[in-house]
Structure 1
Amino acid sequence: MSHFSRRRTAMRYTLLVAPLAVGLTSCGADKGDPLAASPYNAAGQVSYSLAGGGKVDPNKPLEITAKGDDRITDVTATDAAGRYVRGELAPDGIRWHSTAPLAAGAHYTVRVSTEDGNGRPGRETVGFDTTAADKLLRVSFGPDVGTYGVGQPVTAELTVPVKDPAARAKVEQNLQVTASPEAAAGSWYWVDDRTLHYRPQSYWPAHAKIEVRSTLDGVRVENSLYGGASKPLSLTTGDRVEAITDSGTHEMTFKRNGSVVRTIPITTGKPGFSTRNGVKVVLGKEQFVRMQSESIGISAGSSEAYDLPVYWATRVTWSGEYVHAAPWSVGSQGSANVSHGCTGMSTENAHWFFDQVQKGDVVQVVNSGGETMTPFDNGFGDWNLNWSAWKNGSALGGKDRTAAVQNTAAPARLRPKA
């Protein structure tokens, strides 16, 4: 195992503040070489950017650093409601840091998995509290600046929870999205008291420029709560990439800008482990993932247990559903579903798929025996809500908006659809 730990590329995580399940997970086939059953205590082998005995500033990133020969293999940080924090692990496994602000006035539990020079696993769990909000409502938009697929929703995280319907409407009126070329009618959806998602009625246009901004600065939201300044966000979209995964025909149809590029033999989840139906959005790509059955509740002694090195893994859920290389099931690809929930394909096809996709691209599963992908608690399942249901999540009475560019000198604002 030490050989793998030295040559692998460490996993990168982009964790949303939502009730997600995350970790070294997913599907496989046979048992590998299991590690020691009892992890060592990693206390003292990792350090944290936490003030000694005091509360943590939620606007500063949480940083975790490995010491000595140890490497970090997995980090989860959750608040009391079980919502996870986005984060990123360095390629060498030495450092992990959060990539989104923590919630104010919250208690967090951090679980760190490590690996020593011999590949033996370690564990440590710590807790900390963040300081209270400063009574100014600020907004953090996501995802990070960059180019994404046409299925990528826009997210807004509030520093102060907003529950009152009138206050929510005021917030929503001041969160503005514009797109060029113009997108279809769009709307915000309140996921919870602090989190909103925005999407058009249909996917974003290919090669669009998307601008997101808040005009809440100085606006009275409710009682003594006023809006504060927030950083705007600019995004672009790439080609319209859609991977249609048909569990019934055991084929993936890969389309770019409406044209079929490649048809790939696949295998998806077998009975009892059926792959989720519905639209998912690419969350990230990992050249190497160690997949262990225990992370999805399969004990080491089970006939379904596995511990496998997996390559060219494209993540579509936080709970561990990937499109990945599965050389052990090539004989079943194109004819049978034998995985534990992932979409498996040959190493050559998985490598090709890995190179073709980016975050925000669309992966849609049809004709599986699994349930439909949930909207918000396991990645971006936003597109699985029909447009009527999506508009019902708005505080503005279900009114459509148009993400358009206004050719004026004034700041662009969302306008009601004509």
Structure 2
Amino acid sequence: MKHSPRLWTVISSSVLVASLGAGATACGSGDNPLSARPYDAGDQVAINQPSGGRPVDPKRPLEVTTKGHGARITDVTAVDTHGRRLAGELSAKGDRWHSTASMAAGTRYTVTVSTENQRGAPGQRTMTFDTTPSKALLQVKLGPQAGRYGVGQPLTAELSEAVKDKAARAVVERGLVVESSPGVEGAWYWVDDKTLHYRPKDYWPAHSTVSLRSNLEGVRITDDLNGAASKPLKLEIGDRVEAITDAAAHSLTFKRNGEVINTIPVTTGKPGFSTRNGVKVVLGKQYFVRMRGDTVGIGGSENYDLPVYYATRVTWSGEYVHAAPWSVGSQGYENVSHGCTGMSTGNAAWFFENITEGDVVKVINSIGEDMAPFGNGFGDWNVDWKDWRQGSALLKGTHVNHNPVDQARLRPQV
């Protein structure tokens, strides 16, 4: 009984080998057309673009048809020099294939047509042709610059021409490719006709890698506008740093990766100059800034001219976190600034060394206005995710633009 299974295995294998041997001739390349090398199908199919000739109009659809002879088209691939495949549709009879999307301008296409004859033997034809370049190009400037940033840094795309049509906006968005490791959910938001911002649903994961590239080169955006080449960029995301200022408690809590590592007494904007509530993103750092009230419309008894050190900028209108040795007596007790967050020189130096561009600075419990989403820095995180998604041309819903901050209402701070 112990040997029966082994004997059965040997017998089965013998029968299998015999069967394969008996069928070897029937399955040979001489009788099975599917195993043959594809024949040249050049005399069986026609393509409406001249191979290797003068560049063709990319607006003209690509079409492949059969010439009869009982052949049928089984597949068509048209790929440009960037590896982008042209979408198309094959008829049920296999006698016609046509493109269903516009070809890219200023590029070369390689078209491979697969066929089969009446006996089922495979044929193939390959050809190349160039498309004429576009006279009008949409330049896309991607931002920020490549480098290391905090978890709150949005991505930006600045367009050289206004794009208003929703279908054209969708083309632009599809061509702006964002990749992150680890992957996260994110979306573009049209700030205006020439500006897009991209952010994830939540902050970028700490220590993640983010890349952004434009795949719009040659792509038709409108009848008279095609995409231009653009330089890609790569961001390295650092620790999750959040600086949370409680204007009512006159205190700044500094967190790294969820852990509180410092609590700093501060002063924020006094009545009439109250610091804006909400999430802001660090725009940059300057060791020294001369701050003058008269250059930003503050005069009279409120005017100032001060040398300021260890200045971390969070709005374009002049809100900083910086050293304020003149208000040390008020720090931790009352708000006396013109809108900035002030702290001692020692604390400001520590903050300056531990904060980086793209880190999150949040103000709570201020009697001031809310931080605007756009126009005065990066207030993107103050838009609810549901509303943010509505700012994309690829998602259904009404797009409600958050208007940039009225510059006349910006209050300079110190």
Fold shared per TM-score above 0.5: yes
CA distance in 2, matches of 1:252, 1:340: 17
CA distance in 2, matches of 1:226, 1:273: 47
Contact 1:280-1:380 at 8 Å conserved across structures:
yes
Ranges in structure 2 where 5+ consecutive residues have no aligned partner: 1-133, 398-414
* Counterpart position of 2:215: 215
Secondary structure at the residue paired with 1:355?
helix
* Counterpart position of 2:308: 310
Partner amino acid, structure 1, of 2:274: S
Secondary structure at the residue paired with 1:303?
helix
Shift of 1:138: 2.5
Q: Call closer, same or farther: CA 1:338–1:177 in 2, change over 3 Å.
A: same
Map 1:157-196; keep pairs closer than 5 Å: 157-183=158-184, 185-196=185-196
CA distance in 1, matches of 2:262, 2:194: 41
Contact 1:293-1:305 at 8 Å conserved across structures:
yes
Q: Call closer, same or farther: CA 1:233–1:310 in 2, change over 3 Å.
A: same
Q: Call closer, same or farther: CA 1:331–1:187 in 2, change over 3 Å.
A: same
Instruction: Tell me which stretches of 4 or more aligned residues in structure 1 moved more than 2 Å.
Output: none
Secondary structure at the residue paired with 2:302?
coil
Identify the match of residue 358 of structure 1 among 356, 359, 365. 356
Contact 1:267-1:345 at 8 Å conserved across structures:
yes
Secondary structure at the residue paired with 1:395?
coil
* Counterpart position of 2:139: 138
* Cα offsets for 1:319-370 (capped at 9, x unmatched): 1000000111111100100100000000000000000011000000000011
Secondary structure at the residue paired with 1:191?
strand
* Counterpart position of 1:70: none
Ranges in structure 1 where 5+ consecutive residues have no aligned partner: 1-132, 400-418
* Cα offsets for 1:288-318 (capped at 9, x unmatched): 111111133112xx11111101111000011
* Cα offsets for 1:225-280 (capped at 9, x unmatched): 11122111111101000000000111000000100000000000000000000000
Partner amino acid, structure 1, of 2:350: W
Partner amino acid, structure 2, of 1:328: W
CA distance in 2, matches of 1:346, 1:387: 37
* Counterpart position of 1:331: 329
RMSD (Å) for aligned C-alpha atoms: 1.3
Partner amino acid, structure 1, of 2:364: V
CA distance in 1, matches of 2:362, 2:292: 25
Structure number with greater Rg is: 2
Partner amino acid, structure 1, of 2:256: R
Shift of 1:214: 1.2
* Counterpart position of 1:390: 388
CA distance in 2, matches of 1:154, 1:142: 6
- The answer on 1:151 being equivalent to 2:161 is no
Q: Call closer, same or farther: CA 1:134–1:240 in 2, change over 3 Å.
A: farther
* Counterpart position of 1:259: 259
User: What TM-score do the two structures reach when normalised by structure 2?
Assistant: 0.63
* Counterpart position of 2:342: 344
CA distance in 2, matches of 1:270, 1:324: 16
* Counterpart position of 1:237: 237
Contact 1:135-1:160 at 8 Å conserved across structures:
no
Shift of 1:159: 1.9
Shift of 1:388: 1.4
Secondary structure at the residue paired with 1:203?
coil
CA distance in 2, matches of 1:210, 1:314: 24
Identify the match of residue 373 of structure 2 among 364, 372, 375. 375
Secondary structure at the residue paired with 1:264?
strand
Larger mean Cα displacement after TM superposition, 365-374 or 220-229: 220-229
CA distance in 1, matches of 2:368, 2:310: 24
CA distance in 1, matches of 2:231, 2:302: 48
- The answer on 1:203 being equivalent to 2:203 is yes
Q: Call closer, same or farther: CA 1:398–1:327 in 2, change over 3 Å.
A: farther
Partner amino acid, structure 2, of 1:230: S
CA distance in 2, matches of 1:158, 1:236: 24
Shift of 1:398: 4.9
Shift of 1:207: 0.8
Partner amino acid, structure 1, of 2:358: G
Partner amino acid, structure 1, of 2:223: N
Partner amino acid, structure 1, of 2:146: V
- Higher helix share goes to which structure? 2
CA distance in 2, matches of 1:134, 1:219: 13
User: What TM-score do the two structures reach when normalised by structure 1?
Assistant: 0.62
Partner amino acid, structure 1, of 2:152: G
Contact 1:284-1:314 at 8 Å conserved across structures:
yes
Secondary structure at the residue paired with 2:388?
helix
CA distance in 2, matches of 1:280, 1:263: 19
Contact 1:330-1:346 at 8 Å conserved across structures:
yes
